[in-house]
Amino acid sequence: MTVKRSKWKGWGFIGPGFLWTIAFFVVPLLIMAAYSLFQRVGGRIVTDLSWSNYVAFFSKSHHLNALINSLEVTLITTIISIVLAYPLAYILAFRIPPRWQRMALMMAILPFWTSYVVRSYSWLLVLSSNGIISNIIQWLGVVDHPISLANSRTATVIGFVHFFTMLLTLTIFANLVQISPNYRKAAADLGASWWQIFWRITLPLSIPGVMVGAFLTIVLALGDYITPQILGGFREVLLPQAIMLQIQRQADFPAAAAMSLVLMVVISIIFLLFSRWLKIERM
Amino acid sequence: MLKHFLQTTLKNIPAAVYVALVYFFIFLPVGVLLLFSFQDSLLPIPPFQGPSLRWYQAIFTDFRIMQALGNSLMVGVVSAALSCFLGFLAAYGLARYPVRGSGAIQWLLVAPLSVSYLIIGMGLLITFKTMAIPKSLSAVIIGHVVINLPLAFAIIYSQMGEQHANLERAARDLGAAEWQVLVLITLPLLWPALMASFFLSFTLSWDEFIIALLVSRFDVTLPVEIWSLLRSGLNPKTNAIGSMVFIVSILLVIITEMAVFGRRKSK
Amino acid sequence: MSQMVDIKRISKSFGKTIALSEIDLTIEEGQFFALVGPSGSGKTTLLNILGGFVEPSAGRVFIAGQDVSSQPPARRPTTSMFQDYALFPHMSVGANVGFGLLMRKIPRAQRVSRVAAALEMVGLSGMSARRIHQLSGGQQQRVALARALVVEPKVLLLDEPLGALDLNLRRQMQQELLHIQKQVGTTFVHVTHDQEEAMSIADVITVMNNGHIEDVGPPARVYMKPRTLFTATFMGESNIFKGTVAARSDDSMAVDTAFGRLKVTGAAELGARVNLSIRPEQIIAADGEIQGQVPLGVLQVEEVSFFGTHHRCLGRHVKSNLPMIIRLPQHQAVGIGQDLNLSVQREDVVLLTQ
């Protein structure tokens, strides 16, 4: 870059993308923040600023429960997904011959390529009262009437775990294979068994990667509307569903805006926690 | 010898069983989906009757579905192209010109990645409502550019490093004008990054649901249309659509694999 | 001195590529043994076979009398020093060095004291609590050495350990490695592509090329009397020329060459075409009267470079047009186009077997 280059020309290039982001990302967030301070009274938007939407959120139990449910479901999902994905990623990274690794990995994440909506829906074919599982246990004679596993927290968790196990397998695998094989060679050379190599070398070195995957999982799961709506229904309402209900049934945009901002703040807090943890780990 | 054999097999059997179980879990819903897309009766549930292609036929003759498909393609291509274009411009400006506050600008451009799609969609919904902008596919395109521009920017920017700048310098040194450097050196070198950004943006836009749901009304994208179908109960058409999308994606992946692998082998 | 390592007819192929063919080698206890050769010569493969990281396609390996051919690295009485050190980044220096002891279930108190002793031996006393990323390249290398030695292996395998260091540091570490080896008495097997490094610290050098052994012996012998053509040109520079065997007696022969009839030690068939070698620094070049035993004729100087300790001259043997390399002492300046009278001591003309 020569000194002659003008920064105005630079702005000429950056301008369009920058303005787009401001206009369609920053401004909407600001407008939403403003809306969250308005109220919906008798079918009209009243623009007196007040915190009433937030107060309502934290005092109305069914709204607060939505947040708590979201956090619980997300936590359960994350833990189960990590427990399922890590061994799979480990086996793919270290037990499958290199020639077959890519193929095996591709197969493990193939269902990623179904549409997310259809993927969630397809669990209904398995879990609902006239789905595969119900038919099989009826056929086996275990029960004598249709059993539905859908419309429950269990179904939502299954739907989530299905998706995030694939995601985490991918991220943990990518992390495991970039750990230099020489560390494991050196440990073996010094007398370590495969378990000791895993426990003392591979696992500690892979924790940062697992944490990044966990963070991704938490953020995506907290904000997801599709899976809980399809598989959990209205039996248990999670935060994204509560937000959508505000818009679709009540048309209460101020309340919805406030709830969205609460969601955003929760995600930001989690982000900050993870950043701090990762920074400490780097030390 | 026996000990060695036992050790390797014993290590391998639990592993193989585990992998099989997990793969079964992963493929269960998709397998069921594919199976029942060939269902012959009106209900997309057991018992299995068929096989029959009637539902595949049904989706190709369903006007709304085909239109939604076309809309998804259009939105995908346009938003991906816009994202790549804006992302490239921004990356070029930041990487090649001395702009003050470059760190803050980068942070802003990448910020949308950290916000849930639901929230971005909500923001756009409220904004468009306030400005009395009607819901439409154009609004969906706008939303998709918001979520894909950061990715395109990040991917392209990461490829515009020192090495790249040296090549541009060499071209300038040999007498090339600015626009020639751009067209003959910069863009060709960035080709893989541009392709990757486009492909990734298209894929994300294609499958994106919540923003599309919130800011579109009559003309919808495929995921939203599928959602509408589902609202009225289990529908065998959705099995067919889902299976179609899945099969097409698999084919694309296989073709890409072969193209990449084929080239490698011939080297 | 007893045999520590016995390599019997080791071969290794990777698919169609033959990395090692029928290697036979013995290493004595307490020796500093170097494997030298260009890339692809098989030296690293051989080292990996010794360490148990690669299985040979054929042949057996004995260490301290035991057949270790099928043993994994964890079981063998060897430890390795890797090229990139492979220090565990998430552990402290002390934890790294003590790792092998931990694997051997040595109790904590003993571990701590042995780690301290090992660190002192490599000159890093008191650094037990440091983290790996805080260390310089040279320091990391010492930690790797301490980690490998603290478990008291029978053989220490070193895979081009000094490659990443700059010249001065490398020279320093070479001397320290030698010093530590003599102090501990462990057999060292050191792989390097740098023949100067090999010569300066090893007791015995093995020159390898294309999967087989070219020459084995003490550095002085390998350098002064190389056995093969490859050895002569790989270990330093050589003037190689051909000759025909004219006459032979018990231990010496007369060979007709471009320099006339030369007497060399060795055995070959009468009338055979052989390769001979003379090292550039062994050729004595003078303006006037010759000073060596055997006259070699006149050289016309074509290029001169100053190397600090000597001048390196390229020239042409006037009578036979043979290109030659000679070295002149620091003070003997010489100009292009100058004629020099060459001579050499009789024992410096070496017969090569290939």
* pLDDT one-digit tens code per residue, B151-192: 999 999 999 888 888 888 888 888 888 888 888 888 998 998
Contact (Cβ atoms closer than 8 angstroms) between residue C98 and residue C115:
yes
pLDDT of residue A170: 93
Lowest pLDDT segment from B61-65, C117-121, C235-239, C289-293: C289-293
Instruction: Kindly state whether B161 is in contact with chain A, defined as any CB-CB distance less than 8 angstroms.
Output: no
Contact assessment for residue A172 and residue A210, using Cβ atoms and an 8 Å cutoff: yes
Q: How far is B112 from chain A (nearest CA, A)?
A: 7
User: Do residue A115 and residue B127 have CB atoms under 8 angstroms apart?
Assistant: no
> Which candidate from B19, B130, B222 shows the least CB-CB separation from A31?
B130
Q: Give the 3-state secondary structure of chain C.
A: CCEEEEEEEEEEEECCEEEEEEEEEEEECCCEEEEECCCCCCHHHHHHHHHCCCCCCEEEEEECCEECCCCCCCCCCEEEECCCCCCCCCCEHHHHHCHHHHHCCCCHHHHHHHHHHHHHHCCCCCCCCCEHHHCCHHHHHHHHHHHHHCCCCCEEEEECCCCCCCHHHHHHHHHHHHHHHHHHCCEEEEEECCHHHHHHHCCEEEEEECCEEEEEECHHHHHHCCCCHHHHHHCCCCEEEEEEEEEECCCEEEEEECCEEEEEECCCCCCCEEEEEECHHHCEEECCCCCCCEEEEEEEEEEEEECCCEEEEEEEECCCCCEEEEEEECCCCCCCCCEEEEEECHHHCEEECC
Contact A190/C88, CB-based, under 8 Å? no
pLDDT of B234 reads 67
- B6: amino acid identity, one letter: L
Which of C72, C89, C151 shows the shortest C-beta gap to A190? C151
B83 vs B149: CA distance, rounded Å: 5
- The two structure tokens encoding residue C263: 């007497």
Residue B44 touches partner A, C-beta closer than 8 Å: yes
Residue C206's closest CA among C34, C61, C9? Answer: C34
Beta strands in chain A (DSSP E): 39-41, 44-46
What are φ and ψ of residue C24, in 5° steps? Answer: -120, 125
Q: B245, A115: Cβ pair inside 8 Å? A: yes
Average pLDDT along chain C? 91
- Cα C106 to chain centroid, rounded: 36
Which residue is associated with the tokens 């919540």?
A: B210
The two three-digit tokens of residue A154, written as one number: 């269990």
Query: Is a pLDDT exceeding 80 seen at residue B258?
Result: no
- Pick from A13, A128, A243: which is nearest to B90 by CB? A13
Q: Which of A169-173, A274-278, B122-126 has the lowest mean pLDDT?
A: A274-278
Q: Do residues B49 and B159 both lie within one domain?
A: no
Which pLDDT band holds residue C293 (cuts at 50, 70, 90)? Answer: confident
Strand-pair partners of C248: C253
The answer to whether residue C97 scores a pLDDT higher than 60 is yes
Q: What is the pLDDT of residue B176?
A: 86
Chain B residue nearest residue A17, CA to CA: B86
Other beta carbons within 10 Å of A118:
27
- Contact: C100, A193; criterion CB under 8 Å: no
Mean pLDDT of A81-91: 96
Question: At a CB cut-off of 8 Å and minimum separation 6, what does A203 contact?
Answer: none
Closest-CA residue of chain A to C134: A283
**Averaged over B70-84, what is the pLDDT?**
96
pLDDT at A52: 84
Determine the distance in angstroms separating the CA of C218 from the nearest CA of chain A, rounded to an integer: 29
Residue B208 DSSP one-character state: -
Distance, in Å, from the CA atom of C56 to the CA atom of C136, rounded to the nearest integer, reads 36
* Structural domain count of chain A: 1
User: Does residue B6 sit in the same domain as residue B94?
Assistant: no
CB nearest A260 (choices: B26, B100, B119)? B119
Mutant choice from B119, B125, B142, B201 vs A, greatest count of A C-beta within 10 A? B119
| Ramachandran bin of C217, using left for φ above 0, alpha for ψ from -120 to 50, beta for the remaining angles | left
Nearest CA distance, A273 vs chain C (angstrom) = 22
Run of H or E residues at A89: helix A61-94
- A-chain residue closest to B112, CA distance: A25
Can you give the residue range of the structural domain that contains A276?
A: 60-282
Output DSSP code: residue B48. Answer: P
Q: Does the pLDDT of residue A45 top 80, yes or no?
A: no
> Does A196 reach chain C within 8 Å, measured CB to CB?
yes
CATH of the domain at B261: 1.10.3720.10
Let me know whether B89 and B11 are in one domain.
no
Measured between beta carbons, the chain A residues lying within 8 angstroms of B117 are 223
pTM for the model stands at 0.84
Of residues A180, A191, A204, nearest to C74 (C-beta): A191
CA distances to A59, C128, C247, C266 from C251, rounded to whole Å, are: 108, 60, 11, 6
Both tokens assigned to A9: 């020309």
The tens digit of pLDDT for each residue in C196-237 reads: 999 999 999 999 999 999 999 999 999 999 999 999 999 989
Tell me the average pLDDT of chain B.
86
For C137-149, write each residue's pLDDT tens digit: 889 999 999 999 9
**Other C-beta atoms lying within 10 Å of the C-beta of residue B177:** 11
Looking at residue A18, what is its pLDDT?
Answer: 94
The percentage of residues in chain B with a pLDDT greater than 70, rounded to a whole number, is 88
Would you say C31 and C218 are in contact if contact means Cβ atoms under 8 Å apart? no
CATH of residue A215: 1.10.3720.10
**Nearest neighbour of A10 by CB, restricted to B98, B111, B153:** B98
Domain positions in chain C are 3-227, 237-352
Measured between CB atoms, which of C53, C78, C100 is closest to A185?
A: C53
Q: Please give the pLDDT value at position C5.
A: 92
CA distances from A71 to A82, A226, A230, C174 (A): 17, 16, 18, 60
Name residues whose C-beta falls within 8 Å of residue C177's C-beta, 6 or more positions apart in sequence. Answer: C145, C158, C161, C162, C188, C190, C201
> Which residues of chain B lie closer than 8 angstroms to A260, CB-CB?
118-119, 122-123
B30: domain range?
Answer: 2-55
Residues B6-33: tens digit of each pLDDT: 666 667 888 899 999 999 999 999 888 8
User: What pLDDT score was predicted for residue B43?
Assistant: 63
pLDDT class for B267, splitting at 50, 70, 90? very low
Residue B117, helix vs strand vs coil? helix
Q: Which residues contact A180 (CB under 8 A, 6 or more apart)?
A: C84, C86
Q: What is the DSSP letter of A50?
A: -
Contact A265/A50 with Cβ under 8 angstroms? Answer: no
B47 and B142 belong to one structural domain: no
Q: Has residue A90 been placed in a domain?
A: yes
Locate C40 and state its tokens: 């692809």
Q: Looking at beta carbons, which residues of chain C come within 8 Å of A186?
A: 80, 82, 86, 88
| A182 and C CB contact within 8 Å | yes
Neighbours of A136 (CB within 10 A): 12
CA of A180 vs chain B CAs: smallest distance (Å): 23
> Are B51 and B68 part of one and the same domain?
no
Q: Does B193 touch chain A (CB under 8 A)?
A: no
Task: Render pLDDT for C331-344 as a digit per residue (tens, 0 to 9).
Answer: 988 889 999 999 99
The C-alpha torsion from C280 through C284 and C288 to C293, rounded to 10°, is -130
Q: What is the mean pLDDT of chain A?
A: 89
Q: Which CATH class is domain C3-227?
A: alpha beta
Q: Are C257 and C312 in contact (CB under 8 A)?
A: no
The whole-angstrom distance between residue B245's C-alpha and the CA centroid of its chain comes to: 13
What is the C-alpha separation between C300 and A135, in angstroms, rounded?
Answer: 100
Maximal CA-CA distance, chain A: 83
- Percentage of chain B lying above the pLDDT 90 cut: 43
Nearest to B112 among A25, A130, A260 (CB): A25
Cα nearest neighbour of C74 on chain A: A191
C80: nearest CA partner in chain A: A189
pLDDT given for residue B235 in this prediction: 74
Confidence of residue C15 (pLDDT cuts 50, 70, 90): confident
CATH of domain C237-352: 2.40.50.140
Quote the CA–CA distance of C306 and C335 in Å, as a whole number.
Answer: 12
Query: CA dist C197 to C38, C156, C157, C312, Å?
Result: 14, 17, 16, 21
* Partner chains of B (3+ C-beta pairs under 8 Å): A
- Put simply, the answer to whether B97 touches A9 (Cβ < 8 Å) is yes
Higher pLDDT, A226 or B61: A226
The answer to whether A187 contacts chain C (CB < 8 Å) is yes
Among chain B residues, the shortest Cα distance to A30 is held by B123
Instruction: Tell me if A125 and B33 make a contact (CB, 8 A cut-off).
Output: yes
Q: Do A186 and C86 touch (CB under 8 A)?
A: yes
User: Left if phi > 0, otherwise alpha if psi is -120 to 50, otherwise beta: which for C254?
Assistant: beta
The answer to whether the beta carbons of residues B227 and B211 sit under 8 Å apart is no
Q: Do B116 and A18 touch (CB under 8 A)?
A: no
Share of chain C above pLDDT 70, in %: 99
Last residue of a domain, one of B38, B55, B72: B55
**What is the average per-residue pLDDT within A255-261?**
92
Separation of CA A29 from chain center: 21
Question: Does residue A76 form part of some domain?
Answer: yes
CA-based nearest residue in chain A for residue B252: A113
**DSSP H helical ranges for A145-252:** 153-177, 181-189, 194-197, 203-222, 226-227, 239-248
Residue A75: pLDDT over 80: yes
Label residue A54 exposed, middle or buried (CB < 10 Å: 0-12, 13-18, 19+).
middle
Cβ <8 Å between A115 and B222: yes
Out of C89, C90, C103, the one facing A190 most closely (by C-beta) is C103
Q: Is A127 helix (H, G, I), strand (E, B) or coil?
A: helix
Nearest-CB residue to A17 (from B12, B86, B209): B86
C82/A182 touch (CB, cutoff 8 Å), yes or no = yes
Interface test with B, best of A1, A2, A13, A84 (most B CBs within 10 A): A13
Q: So what's the pLDDT on residue C301? A: 92
Query: Could you tell me which residue, A175 or A43, shows the higher pLDDT?
Result: A175
- Quote the minimal CA–CA distance from A27 to chain B in Å: 8
Number of domains in chain B: 2
In this structure, the number of other CB atoms found within 10 A of the CB of residue B178 comes to: 10
